[in-house]
Amino acid sequence: MDSIWKSGTKLPEFSELESDMKVDVLIIGGGITGILCAHFLQERGVDYVLCEAGTVCSGITGNTTAKITAQHGLIYNKILKGMGLEAAAMYLHANLAAVEKFAELCTEIDCNFERKTSYVYSKESLKNLENEADALARIGFYSNLSDKTELPFPVAGALAFNNQAQFNPLKFLSRIAEGLNIYQNTLIAEFIPVEGHVGGKMYMALTDKGKKIIFRQAVFATHFPLNNKHGLFFLKLYQHRSYVMALNNVPKIHGMYVDENKKGMSFRSFEDTLLIGGGGHRTGKKGGNWQELREFARRYYPDSKVTFSWAAQDCMSLDGVPYIGHYSKNMPGCFVASGYNKWGMTSSMTAAMILADMITEKGSSYAKVFDPSRSMIKPQLFINGWEAAANLMIPAKKRCPHMGCSLKWNETEHSWDCPCHGSRFTEGGKVLDNPANGDLKK
């Protein structure tokens, strides 16, 4: 089924690129990150074009739970321990600024924008919540810890961020995208440096239809970065699937909730509908999926009716912090935004604001904490490497065109999924999710 956001929301239509062109900035990817980047660059008078392989917002953006919050699980104590006080403060203020930018833009857009309190709850213990509250206090942000929630089960406690928000992302983007320089159904198939060009580094992109785009700078807003030659993103990232069900005939929940346990549940209401999320697993592995949500609904909301159900896929970084900034030192003028770790709404706004500043040489006070070239030596790196190496050794009838990993049949969603990097394909071989940049060979 489609997500609740796709019901009744009409997105603007854009034509396909039909001729060669030259532009200062090429944005690759028409999800929320790419569209917001285009919006900010257009405001600043930058010569840009956005190319989307399908239609705008047809991928991950349309399958979010659409929480706008700087509370990304229990991230601040983790950053404080791993990267220091300055980095934790940068991360907080970058995301608080993103929340306020959404509020500013949504003033003139009918997109169900509502201020809400965000909560991380624990069913087991207060210890991790208290540690997070202490970390936040050290960087000057005071959160509230309570043992009372609206949830249908008891909790040890919940840590609150006041004045966060939620909205309908496709209603928002349908307005933001109007009038932007976008080409749909325009797949960037090849990316080539132009050697010997006078006046600075230039690149050429070739579309799948053979059209050429000459440009100086690029933003890879493709969810999972597509260029394997640089940046090592195939080691820095893995993908995780999660599942959402929309329930009617249930009590309304006024806050936005997520379990500190990665296998727990998330909650938010949209009008008279409750959205519950959970059942997640690494792409290509087995997990609870919608069955876990159905069992939860039967137990806690026995009179509920399922009106929508959908799945999302998220890129997960090595340390819980997104990669936003220069793609690689070997690709001057190229930028990337990925690894949002399931917090795509706020992270996409953060990314768009930072990248717009970097492209226009304004500079960003938040860029350092998100630098994609930061240390890779994290436990998750070795897990990602082991998953890829082990999978490559498995005999398989179907292999991913991205890097050759064996594909696993997903019985729940009837798709071929890659456990290494998260590419997905229909039963017939049509690509559903990148980093694969094409269909399976027949």
Q: What is the pLDDT of residues 330-342, one digit of tens each?
A: 899 999 999 999 9
The Cα–Cα gap between 29 and 191 comes to 14
Q: What is the pTM of this model?
A: 0.95
The Cα–Cα gap between 372 and 51 comes to 23
Q: What is the pLDDT of residues 423-440, one digit of tens each?
A: 999 999 999 998 988 888
The CA radius of gyration of the chain, in Å to the nearest whole number, is: 21
List the beta bridge partners of residue 50. Answer: 27, 182
- Check residue 397 and give its pLDDT: 79
Question: Other CB atoms closer than 10 Å to residue 253's CB: what's the count?
Answer: 18
Q: Which residue has the higher pLDDT, 376 or 177?
A: 177
- Taking a C-beta distance cutoff of 8 angstroms, is the pair 50, 38 a contact? yes
pLDDT at residue 403 greater than cutoff 50 = yes
71: helix, coil or strand?
coil
The Cα–Cα gap between 41 and 215 comes to 15
Helix axes 85-106, 169-176, angle to 10 degrees: 70
- Picking from 89, 96, 88, the residue whose alpha carbon sits closest to that of residue 70 is 96
- Check residue 390 and give its pLDDT: 80
Q: How far, CA to CA in Å, does 259 sit from each of 251, 256, 284, 401?
A: 19, 11, 23, 36
Q: What is the CATH number of domain 238-315?
A: 3.30.70
Q: What is the pLDDT of residues 178-207, one digit of tens each?
A: 999 999 999 999 988 887 554 558 999 999
- Taking the domains of the chain in order of start, what are their residue ranges? 4-64+172-235+320-370, 238-315, 379-429
CB-based contacts of 407-414 (< 8 A; 24+ apart in sequence): 407/284, 408/284, 408/285, 410/284, 412/289, 412/290, 412/291, 413/289, 413/311
- Taking a C-beta distance cutoff of 8 angstroms, is the pair 352, 303 a contact? no
Half-sphere exposure of 111 (CA within 13 A, CB side): 29
Question: Other CB atoms closer than 10 Å to residue 210's CB: what's the count?
Answer: 9
Q: What is the pLDDT of residues 315-332, one digit of tens each?
A: 999 999 999 999 999 899
- Would you give the end-to-end CA distance of the chain in angstroms? 27
The Cα–Cα gap between 90 and 210 comes to 42
The Cα–Cα gap between 72 and 260 comes to 10
265: helix, coil or strand?
coil
Backbone angles phi, psi at 269, to 5 degrees: -100, 150
pLDDT at residue 83 greater than cutoff 70 = yes
Structure tokens, 231: 């940046």
pLDDT at residue 352 greater than cutoff 90 = yes
Q: What percent of the chain has pLDDT over 90?
A: 81
Q: What percent of the chain has pLDDT over 70?
A: 98
Looking at residues 83-92, what average pLDDT do you find?
Answer: 97
b or e along 370-409 (b: 16 or more beta carbons within 10 Å of the residue's beta carbon)? bebebeeebebbeebeebbeebeeeeeeebbbbbebbbbe
The Cα–Cα gap between 431 and 400 comes to 10
Looking at residues 152-168, what average pLDDT do you find?
Answer: 97
DSSP string, 290-350: HHHHHHHHHHH-TT-EEEEEEEEEEEE-SSSS-EEEES-TTSTTEEEEE--TT-HHHHHHH
Question: Other CB atoms closer than 10 Å to residue 338's CB: what's the count?
Answer: 27
Structure tokens, 50: 């956005």
Q: What is the CATH number of domain 4-64+172-235+320-370?
A: 3.50.50.60
pLDDT at residue 140 greater than cutoff 80 = yes
pLDDT at residue 49 greater than cutoff 90 = yes
Rounding to the nearest 10 degrees, give the CA dihedral for residues 218, 34, 353, 161: -140
Looking at residues 343-353, what average pLDDT do you find?
Answer: 98
Our separate counts of H helices and E strands in the chain read 10, 23
The Cα–Cα gap between 223 and 393 comes to 27
